């Protein structure tokens, strides 16, 4: 099969950047279940899925919802529009929790009625008058003209037997501005969900996704959320899982369907053979990456987010199409590195400016100075050097968080690590070991020195130093193989 990398072909090959824009059939065809999936899909009552944008929260929810419905489990999806006005403008925290409980029960009743094929007004009325959401919906089913036995949909029968309902709430960060009122409202929602699953134990289950910056502000602003911390699951991927994800997309594009077990257990070399019909086997550029397996270069450029990989491959495929290539060659990748890098900086600014409004100034000033370029430094720092760099940047003006608090040097360092602009770095006899915030959230601890240096992620470097690509390649190093 000869590839021409037209837009439709690229999308079928690598998939949509956003899971909500993908067809459900194609999403489930190529979806790769990471270890996080099982932690969220468990039968426990409350799971709060936290992660950066583009890390796969929505995709996980969509697949979990689809699998629930295949098993005839009553499952409802709640979107931001459904809850846009609940507890809005409610200043008292306890009142806000109560308003959320009332509002959520009504929204669940409406969405469940659609799934069950019964009257929405009947479901809402019965849930309002019942002791619990589940008992109210069951009463509405019994009163419905269509009995559970005669209905074509078997959700009713299963629900009457199990008395269980799962609620998925996604995209709550839509329109998020990080204001005190926003934090107050999300905190109240989390507390309301916790109360509701405790009141209807073993019957009601909540799955809520939050962007990492949203969760961080809520967690650090409301002490009551410490009771929810045990239910928080951080969405994370190993590089092997992301590589397997790419392979599964390519394999299914060509009509093959490798099993999860095979993908998980295959070696890097075995998985890499699936890339050969689509892209160069080796990176034929310069510097430390020269003649490295192409998948190791790709994994070094993404921030352990599937969307990064889709964006990187999509941009390169488009360039291959322009160049008339039937394969993505090294030159196609090299040509789009700056565009890819600029996009990742803009993504980061968009994602975290609600927390640090002046984030763009901070990031752009992390570029190497003339002195650092001369010394072939500027991307890797000891902790002391990093603090010195940040002190110099702050001489041009202090940074203030959205909460109004002036950031300390240490807080800026932690912030850059938390948003994946910086990664922890340690040199070993086997190569470079890199750590992300999701893997080691306490690396930048107040009192403990874990012996790591700090490195600006390669994804940002072409945008920070567009005038000197050669030196970037000369200083880029691959992670250890077992990290990739």
Mean pLDDT within 250-279:
92
Characterize the bridge pairing of strands 422-428 and 453-456: antiparallel
pLDDT band at 149 (very low <50, low <70, confident <90, very high): very low
Question: How far is 423 from 459, CA to CA, in rounded Å?
Answer: 11
**Mean pLDDT to the nearest integer, 165-173:** 91
Q: What is the pLDDT of residue 7?
A: 95
pLDDT of res. 376:
56
Q: Give the CB-side neighbour count of residue 55, counting CA atoms within 13 A.
A: 27
Predicted confidence (pLDDT) per residue in 87-104, tens digit: 888 889 999 999 999 999
Provide mean pLDDT across the span 442-458: 68
284, 328, 336, 386 from 322: Cα distances, Å: 20, 11, 12, 41
Q: What is the pLDDT of residues 137-148, one digit of tens each?
A: 999 999 987 654
Closest C-alpha to 185, from 162, 199, 166, 169: 169
In this predicted model, which residue has the larger pLDDT, 340 or 33? 340
pLDDT > 90: percent of the chain: 57
Percentage of the chain surpassing pLDDT 70? 91
SS3 431: strand
pTM score: 0.86
- Report the alpha-carbon distance of residue 213 to residue 226 in Å, rounded: 16
What CATH architecture is 35-234? 3-Layer(aba) Sandwich (3.40)
Q: Is the pLDDT of residue 120 over 80?
A: yes
Give mean pLDDT, residues 8-24: 86
Q: Burial letters for 22-57: b for 16+ Cβ neighbours within 10 Å, e otherwise?
A: beeebbeebbbbbebbeebbeeebbbbbbbbbbbbb
* Residue 75 phi, psi dihedral angles, 5° rounding: -135, 130
CB distance 36 to 43 below 8 Å: no
Alpha carbon distance 309, 36 (integer Å): 19
User: How much is the average pLDDT of 371-398?
Assistant: 86
Find out whether 203 and 165 touch, Cβ atoms under 8 Å.
Answer: yes
Taking residues 193-220, what's their average pLDDT? 92
Q: What is the residue extent of each domain of the chain?
A: 1-17+240-352, 35-234, 362-457+471-484
Q: Where are the alpha helices (DSSP H) in 212-357?
A: 212-221, 239-253, 260-265, 268-272, 294-301, 306-322, 330-352
Beta pairing, strands 75-78 & 204-211: unpaired
Span 69-79, pLDDT tens digits: 999 999 999 99
Q: How far apart are CA 145 and CA 134, in angstroms?
A: 19
């Amino acid at each position: 099969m000869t590839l021409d990398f037209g837009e439709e072909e690229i999308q079928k090959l690598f998939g949509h950047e956003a899971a909500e824009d993908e067809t459900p059939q194609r999403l489930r065809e190529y979806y790769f279940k990471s270890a996080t999936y099982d932690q969220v899909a468990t039968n426990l009552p409350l799971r709060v899925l936290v992660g950066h944008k583009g890390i796969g929260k929505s995709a996980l929810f969509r697949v979990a919802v689809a699998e629930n419905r295949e098993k005839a489990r009553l499952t409802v999806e709640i979107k931001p529009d459904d809850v846009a006005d609940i507890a809005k403008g409610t200043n008292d925290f306890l009142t806000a929790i109560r308003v959320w409980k009332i509002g959520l029960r009504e929204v669940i009743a409406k969405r469940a009625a659609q799934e069950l094929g019964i009257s929405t007004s009947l479901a809402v009325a019965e849930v309002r008058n019942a002791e619990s959401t589940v008992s109210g919906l069951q009463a509405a089913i019994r009163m419905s003209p269509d009995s559970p036995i005669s209905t074509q949909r078997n959700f009713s029968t299963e629900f009457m037997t199990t008395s269980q309902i799962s609620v998925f709430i996604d995209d709550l960060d839509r329109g998020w501005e990080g204001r005190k009122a926003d934090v107050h409202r999300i905190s109240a929602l989390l507390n309301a969900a916790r109360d509701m699953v405790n009141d209807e134990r073993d019957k009601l289950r909540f799955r809520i996704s939050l962007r990492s910056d949203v969760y961080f502000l809520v967690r650090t602003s409301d002490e009551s959320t410490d009771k929810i911390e045990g239910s928080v699951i951080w969405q994370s991927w190993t590089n092997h899982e992301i590589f397997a994800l790419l392979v599964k997309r390519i394999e299914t594009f060509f009509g093959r369907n490798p099993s999860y077990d095979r993908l998980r257990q295959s070696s890097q070399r075995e998985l890499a053979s699936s890339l050969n019909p689509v892209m160069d086997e080796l990176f034929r550029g310069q510097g430390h990456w020269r003649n490295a397996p192409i998948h190791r270069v790709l994994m070094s450029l993404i921030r352990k987010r599937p969307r990064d990989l889709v964006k990187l491959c999509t941009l390169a495929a488009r360039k291959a199409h322009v160049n008339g290539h039937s394969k993505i060659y090294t030159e196609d990748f090299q040509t789009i590195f700056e565009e890819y890098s600029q996009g990742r900086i803009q993504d980061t600014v968009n994602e975290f400016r609600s927390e640090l409004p002046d984030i763009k100034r901070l990031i752009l000033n992390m570029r190497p100075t003339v002195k650092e370029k001369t010394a072939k430094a500027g991307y890797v720092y000891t902790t002391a050097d990093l603090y010195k760099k940040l002190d110099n940047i702050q001489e041009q003006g202090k940074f203030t968080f959205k909460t109004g608090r002036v950031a300390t040097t240490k807080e800026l360092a932690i912030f850059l690590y938390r948003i994946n602009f910086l990664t922890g770095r340690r040199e070993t006899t086997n190569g470079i070991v890199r750590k992300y915030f999701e893997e080691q959230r306490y690396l930048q601890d107040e009192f403990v020195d874990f012996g790591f240096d700090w490195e600006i992620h390669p994804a940002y470097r072409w945008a920070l130093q567009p005038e000197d690509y050669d030196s970037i390649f000369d200083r880029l190093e691959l992670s250890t193989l077992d990290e990739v």
